Amino acid sequence: MDISPLLSGLNDAQRAAVAAPLAPTLVLAGAGSGKTRVLTHRVAWLVQVEQVSAHSILAVTFTNKAAGEMRSRIESMLHVPSAPLWIGTFHGIAHRLLRLHWRETNLPQAFQIMDADDQLRAIRKLLKARNMDEARWAPKEVMWFINARKDEGQRAGQLKDEGDPTRREFIRLYAAYQEQCDRSGIVDFAELLLRVYELLRNNPDMRAHYRRRFRHVLIDEFQDTNTIQYAWLKLLTSPDPETSPGGLPFAVGDDDQSIYRWRGARVENLHQFQRDYPGVQLFRLEQNYRSTGNILSAANALIANNSGRLGKNLWTSGEQGEPVRLYTAFNERDEADFVINQLRDWIDKGGRRDECAILYRSNAQSRTFEEALLSARIPYRVYGGLRFFERAEIKDALAYLRLIFHRADDASFERIVNLPTRGIGLKTLDTVRDYARANTCSMWEAAGACIAELGARAGSCLHAFLALIDLLDQQIRALPLFEQVDHVIHASGLLAHYRQERGDRGEARVENLNELVTAARNYEPDTEDAMPPLASFLAHAVLESGEQQADAWEDSVQMMSLHSAKGLEFPLVFLTGLEDGLFPHLRSLSDAEGLEEERRLCYVGTTRAMRQLYLTYAEQRRLHGQDNYAAPSRFIREIPPEFIEEVRPRIQISRPVYMPRGKAPAALREDTSAMGIQLGQRVRHGKFGEGVVVDIEGQGNHARVQVNFEQHGSAKWLMLTYANLEPV
DNA sequence: CCAGTTTTTACTGGG
DNA sequence: TAAAAACTGG
């Protein structure tokens, strides 16, 4: 076997990790050190050199994007289809296992997955049913409690209230919530993992089977694993006295990039791994191939403020590059305008738009940038935020399909029972709900039973709804998937309902619904699992809520939250909104742990940049309709000044880069420069004497300039046409 | 019961 | 600001 292609192009540390002997392995891989390369090459190495069957390899990631990338890279390296390999997210793999073993876990075959949105809805409903005040029992708190317990592998039954009445109530709610989910055959995200864990734990045969099967478990972003995910790994890779000598985990992680503590991730798993697998081989990847020296130095200095790091010395042999640039904006509009002007420069110099990324702490910040990009006619693409399958109209359509597929799905029932309105009001639903609760049955069953005792009018409306669902069910049985979707959105009246909605909004919704049909048409179910296509499609919709939007192929500026930027790299990066309270976020400021996580997030952001990094913050920012004034982020101060260059066009006039209000800079430059006026220009005025142009606004006859006159206290705005300024 | 209006509330992050 | 919830007249 010629192993050179597998190892060529790798540095010593990478090569050592890829070709490591078959033993538990931990790779500490700094940002931009070739982590994904090592993982994919290791898989190829196992298959081609160690002659390991692709069947016995399980590769787990956290995001669909990472899983997809790994799969395609491995495919192109091995030149064979990667189907026998199991590659996926934790949730995707758990789902697959549950579809295979639904009987053993007491799930109905048609079980459905609910996303966080559905979960919150379910909890609200539960609180209402128990007459609990939402002000006292915040649904989000309850949800957080339940998910945190599940992430730790705990069921309501094994929790103690510790004499705390609040906790006691939370535990009760957890139990009631779970009962409700079980009854309607619904699992939430955390439940997917917990179920599989319990399946393996309680079922020795199955455990032995999967231990034998998956001897090689590769895990990406190991620092982000939570308790249950780690417990999973241990169950899969522990030795089985009779059947298996123990699996060979290959974990890759970076403690400095641990940014998911809030969803239960435990960096300590990196330490625990070394204790649990004695003789673990440790490799460190410390050479960074991504960023310039300045960017890397800034990032290193920043992260050095964290305590308890495993310690890494990230270095590069590349050039120093440009300094990191810092821009202080007046407000968020100004911040966006600045970014747009830099983008224009980049593009004018022949750069590609998709080489540029605008990163922000929270998705809400994207709007200002979107508006600015839109008016500047620069194509862009927003990742995250509201995704396709999370749109209300799409969830409505999916709810019809889910209810048709699985009548016990109460959440879907409630969602669409009166959408479009069909005369089934709150009072009717209360009756049905009461009945369902009293008889512990599904809303569907309760509705059937209630018709008789309801008034004639309400009863017939309800009956019509039940009949509609049954009818749809019959009608679509034999149809191919996309026609099922198409038929349901038409025959349910959903499409007509949204068509009536006036304005662009309704139009967009109709478009989205049609897009759903297209998505169904293009959907290719996993060949291996023998689910009905509809079930598979529904699960796909929840698990991969649809990253790709239209125009994905067009060269466009990339916008995303810092969290979703992890694992990516861009030549030009804007790290925006660096204000205390926004980033670091207000809710993380109070405890040291939270602050350190924010700092790691900032570290992740800075290390995305390859050639040029801009940091920006606004002195004034409008948040939920109110003006806020925040101090610059403490993270800016933590980067030594020698790596940072401040861009202050209004004061530091030597850099005429700033053009206000998003006016086309080329035109403006021509316009004003024709009169010999540009930013930073010294001018003389008949009355006010000499001064410096610090701002230009408008064009042609409307052009105004702001001039800082020496004699005059403050800067003055002058109409260019009347001021008769002479360049000096 | 419905549709439109006013009031309230909330905004961290992802599978 | 904008979505969700509460309210109100038909």
Q: Count up the domains in chain A and report the number.
A: 5
CATH of the domain at A687: 2.40.10.170
Q: What is the pLDDT of residue A702?
A: 42
In this structure, are A412 and A444 located in the same domain? yes
In this structure, are A439 and A486 located in the same domain? yes
Residue A661 has pLDDT above 60, yes or no: no
**A426 CA vs C7 C1’ separation (Å):** 15
The CA distance from A416 to A491, in Å, is 13
Residue A692 has pLDDT above 90, yes or no: no
The CA distance from A515 to A381, in Å, is 18
Residue A688 has pLDDT above 70, yes or no: no
A220 in active site: yes
Q: What is the pLDDT of residue A197?
A: 95
**A486 CA vs B3 C1’ separation (Å):** 28
- The stretch A488-503 carries a mean pLDDT of 84
Dihedral over Cα of A217, A221, A223, A226: its sign: negative
Residue A536 has pLDDT above 90, yes or no: no
CATH of the domain at A161: 1.10.10.160
Query: What residue has token string 């009905």?
Result: A532
In this structure, are A378 and A396 located in the same domain? no
Indicate the pLDDT class of residue A728, thresholds 50, 70 and 90. low
Percent of chain A with pLDDT over 90: 47
Residue A723 has pLDDT above 70, yes or no: no
Q: What is the pLDDT of residue A545?
A: 74
Token pair of A565 as six digits: 């930027």
A272 in active site: no
Indicate the pLDDT class of residue A666, thresholds 50, 70 and 90. very low
In a domain, A653, yes or no: no
Phi and psi at residue A217, to the nearest 5°: -110, 115
Highest mean pLDDT among A331-340, A527-536, A647-656, A684-693: A331-340
In a domain, A659, yes or no: no
In a domain, A68, yes or no: yes
Lowest mean pLDDT among A66-75, A193-202, A647-656: A647-656
A566 in active site: no
Q: What is the pLDDT of residue A363?
A: 87
Nearest-10 Cα torsion for A162, A164, A169, A171: -20
Of A47, A36, A33, A41, residue with least CA distance to A15 = A41
- The stretch A93-103 carries a mean pLDDT of 92
Indicate the pLDDT class of residue A375, thresholds 50, 70 and 90. confident
Q: In this structure, are residues A291 and A324 in contact, taking their beta carbons and an 8 Å threshold?
A: no
Q: What is the pLDDT of residue A43?
A: 93
Give exposure, A273-298, as e/b (b: 16+ Cβ within 10 Å).
Answer: beebbeeebebbbebbbbbbbbbbbb
Residue A652 has pLDDT above 60, yes or no: no
**pLDDT tens digits along A408-422:** 888 889 888 888 888
A290 in active site: no
In this structure, are A85 and A158 located in the same domain? no
In this structure, are A167 and A312 located in the same domain? no
For residue A681, give the amino acid letter.
Q
The CA distance from A227 to A232, in Å, is 9
Q: What is the pLDDT of residue A551?
A: 52
**A424 CA vs B1 C1’ separation (Å):** 8
The CA distance from A88 to A192, in Å, is 14
Choice between A704 and A43, residue whose per-residue pLDDT is larger: A43
In a domain, A271, yes or no: yes
For residue A162, give the amino acid letter.
E
In this structure, are A219 and A84 located in the same domain? yes
What pTM does this model have?
0.81
Highest mean pLDDT among A65-74, A128-137, A185-194, A363-372: A185-194
**A135 CA vs B8 C1’ separation (Å):** 13
In this structure, are A89 and A204 located in the same domain? yes
Query: What residue has token string 């605008």?
Result: A358
Domain that holds residue A461: 388-545
Token pair of A93 as six digits: 């793999």
Residue A460 C-alpha from the chain's centroid: 44
Token pair of A708 as six digits: 């800082």
List bases, strand B, within 7 Å of protein CB.
1-3, 10-15
Residues 260-299 of chain A sitting with CB below 7 angstroms of strand C: none
Q: What is the pLDDT of residue A512?
A: 85
Neighbouring residues of A430: CB distance < 8 A, sequence distance ≥ 6: none
Lowest mean pLDDT among A1-5, A298-302, A484-488: A1-5
What residues of A are designated binding site for ATP? 29-36
In a domain, A293, yes or no: no
**pLDDT tens digits along A255-280:** 999 999 888 899 999 999 999 998 89
Among candidate residues A69, A151, A221, A544, the one labeled active-site is A221
Q: What is A460-517 written as a DSSP string?
A: HHHHHHHHHHHHHHHHHTTS-HHHHHHHHHHHTSHHHHHHHS-HHHHHHHHHHHHHHH
Residue A391 has pLDDT above 80, yes or no: yes
From residue A104, give the alpha-carbon distance in Å to each of A58, A108, A298.
Answer: 22, 10, 53
- Other beta carbons within 10 angstroms of residue A558's beta carbon come to 19
Asked whether strand C has any atom less than 7 Å from the CB of A477, the reply is no
Q: What is the pLDDT of residue A1?
A: 59
Indicate the pLDDT class of residue A527, thresholds 50, 70 and 90. low
Q: Which of A267, A287, A307 is the last residue of a domain?
A: A287
In this structure, are A564 and A585 located in the same domain? yes
Token pair of A480 as six digits: 């191919």
In a domain, A107, yes or no: no
Which nucleotide has its C1' atom closest to residue A545's CA?
B15
Residue A641 has pLDDT above 70, yes or no: yes
Q: What is the pLDDT of residue A663?
A: 31
Residue A664 has pLDDT above 50, yes or no: no
In this structure, are A324 and A338 located in the same domain? yes
**A452 CA vs C4 C1’ separation (Å):** 33
In this structure, are A375 and A403 located in the same domain? no
In a domain, A163, yes or no: yes
The CA distance from A659 to A538, in Å, is 48
Among candidate residues A220, A332, A409, A486, the one labeled active-site is A220
Residues 115-154 of chain A sitting with CB below 7 angstroms of strand C: 124
Mean residue pLDDT of chain A comes to 85
Q: Which of A513, A545, A577 is the last residue of a domain?
A: A545
List bases, strand C, within 7 Å of protein CB.
1-2, 4-5
The helix (H) or strand (E) run that includes residue A59 is strand A57-61
The CA distance from A703 to A673, in Å, is 12
Choice between A615 and A667, residue whose per-residue pLDDT is larger: A615
Asked whether strand C has any atom less than 7 Å from the CB of A502, the reply is no
Of A473, A522, A341, A416, residue with least CA distance to A118 = A416
Q: What is the pLDDT of residue A694?
A: 56
In a domain, A660, yes or no: no
Residue A2 has pLDDT above 70, yes or no: no
Q: Which of A287, A319, A335 is the last residue of a domain?
A: A287
Q: In this structure, are residues A685 and A691 in contact, taking their beta carbons and an 8 Å threshold?
A: yes
- The stretch A65-78 carries a mean pLDDT of 86
Highest mean pLDDT among A174-178, A415-419, A438-442: A174-178
The CA-CA-CA angle for residues A631, A637, A639, to 5°, reads 145
Residue A710 has pLDDT above 80, yes or no: no
A607 in active site: no
In this structure, are A55 and A92 located in the same domain? yes
CATH of the domain at A261: 3.40.50.300
DSSP state of A315: B
Lowest mean pLDDT among A211-215, A238-242, A345-349, A442-446: A238-242
Q: What is the pLDDT of residue A315?
A: 92
In this structure, are A445 and A538 located in the same domain? yes
The helix (H) or strand (E) run that includes residue A71 is helix A64-78
Neighbouring residues of A205: CB distance < 8 A, sequence distance ≥ 6: none
A35 in active site: yes
For chain A, give the longest Cα–Cα distance.
Answer: 98
**pLDDT tens digits along A496-506:** 888 877 666 77
Indicate the pLDDT class of residue A125, thresholds 50, 70 and 90. confident
- The stretch A177-187 carries a mean pLDDT of 90
